[in-house]
Amino acid sequence: MSGKMIYSNMETFEKDVLQHEKPVVVDFYSEDCAPCMALAPIFERMAEIYGEQMKFVRIFRQQNRQLAEKYNVKSSPTLLFFNQGEEVCSRLNGYINKPELRKVIEGVIGGSCILKERQKVYCDVLILGAGPAGLSAAIYAARAKLFTVLIDEGLPGGQVSTTYHVANYPGTNGVIRGLDLVENMKKQALDFGAQIDDLKEITAVNLAGEEKFVQTEDADYYAKSVIIATGAEPRKLPAEGEREFRGRGIHYCATCDGALYQDANVLVVGGGNSAVEEAVFLTRYAKQVTIVHQFDHFQASKAAQDEALKNPNINVIWNSEVRKVYGESFVKGVTVENIKTKETSEIETEGLFVYIGMQPKTDLFKNQIRLNEYGYIPTDEDMRTNIPGVFAAGDVRDKKIRQISTASGDGTIAGIMVERFINGK
């Protein structure tokens, strides 16, 4: 643990946070919380970099409930920023990545930053993204004796690392924790000689020419070939108030935050498998779950639909979308519009869980590589893109099925084909 990060509690909070002369960032975390585990090393790394300008404090929310309630902290992790005893800037919560946290920190401390000497890294294969697709590609490429480097803006694992139980991955004896599955993949890649550079923000990319170039905040990477495996992320609710109430009643992970809504009334937005399955999951805790869906039918599997529609604690509002989220310090309700009649209504709720699809993380490549209308990368069956030496694998690729096993399969093909590409040169 960084010496520039401390643990505080209800008794020492005023001295540690409110009376401190420097700006302070406070991490309210919980046990058995996948987003908390993902944030912990990022938070510690930021403490090492910015510890001279800002104080980093962690508070165990489950043992400091009164303090959490005082500041309306309802989910873990939640980051609060203080300056001279007053809360400043927007809160961060849920799955917080390094660029998002760094941006707020630098805003609080006035944009100052510690610059380090830039590194130069030359490799055979540069893999962007360390989820199952990237790790699988690294296993094959590194085993083929290619100098293979993976870089990721977060920690290895992608979406899988935030999944508590994986029950359908072949060869895992039925059920395995997402974190354990990722750790197994990571160890294999490292054992074969791959290099993993995590918590790296990609700031520039040039895929043209024989030598590919990728720039991060502290290093320049030069590669003979690139595999894009940056994955996808949940779409945010397109409604007024989403950013203000994110973590204060708006959530994107029922497994992470559902237990906070014991005997409450909650909404689920969406109609695919994730939305319908998570609505059923939430009935373990919530008194009533209302699904708001823009169509008059679900897109979920027949089995998922049947389970939800037969559950007496679930009701559905069809042909409707959430237009506004309102409340004070926490969500109190939403404005819903019927997209056919254009009529609006107010619905009281204590929380929203949003599942309206995923969006590919391809913004960095928009002007360099061919994308489809939804932003995904088209490839052939060998994972080749329209640029020689550039491959794509996993959820970032244009395809019909997105599962851990299909991502690993893509990565396997990409890892084999990149070896053939380099040897062919």
Q: What's the one-letter identity of residue 92?
A: L
Compute φ and ψ for 69, nearest 5 degrees: -65, -40
Residues across the chain: 425
Rounded CA gap, 14 and 20, in Å? 8
**Catalytic residue list contains 256:** yes
> Hey, what's the torsion of the CAs at 150, 152, 154, 158, to 10 degrees?
-80
267 φ, ψ (degrees, to nearest 5):
-110, 145
The DSSP letter of residue 325 is: E
Nearest CA to 23 among 67, 80, 81?
A: 81
Residue 407 neighbours by CB distance under 10 Å: 30
**Which entry of 256, 306, 363, 382 is annotated as an active-site residue?**
256
Catalytic residue among 198, 257, 395, 410: 257
Which residues pair with residue 311 across a beta bridge? none
Paired with 209 in beta bridges are: none
Give dist(CA 177, CA 186) in Å, integer.
Answer: 14
HSE value, Cβ hemisphere, 13 Å, CA-based, for 18: 9
User: Which one is catalytic: 27, 253, 395, 410?
Assistant: 253
* Residue 294 CB neighbour total at 10 angstroms: 17
Provide the CA 11 distance to its chain's centre, in angstroms.
33
| 8 in Cβ contact with 40 (< 8 Å) | no
Catalytic residue check, 257:
yes
**Beta strand spans in 185-264 (E):** 195-197, 202-206, 212-216, 219-228, 232-234, 250-251
**CA–CA gap between residue 334 and residue 345 (Å, rounded):** 8
Task: State the distance between the two ends of the chain, measured CA to CA, in whole angstroms.
Answer: 46
Give CA–CA dist 323/26, Å, rounded. Answer: 31
The crossing angle, in degrees rounded to 10, of helices 98-108 and 34-50 is: 40
Task: Write down the residue that tokens 């540069």 correspond to.
Answer: 126
CB 151 within 8 A of CB 128: yes
Name every residue whose Cβ is closer than 8 Å to that of residue 287 and which is 6 or more positions away in sequence.
Answer: 263, 264, 265, 313
Q: How far apart are CA 290 and CA 265, in angstroms?
A: 8
The set of catalytic residues is: 253, 256-257
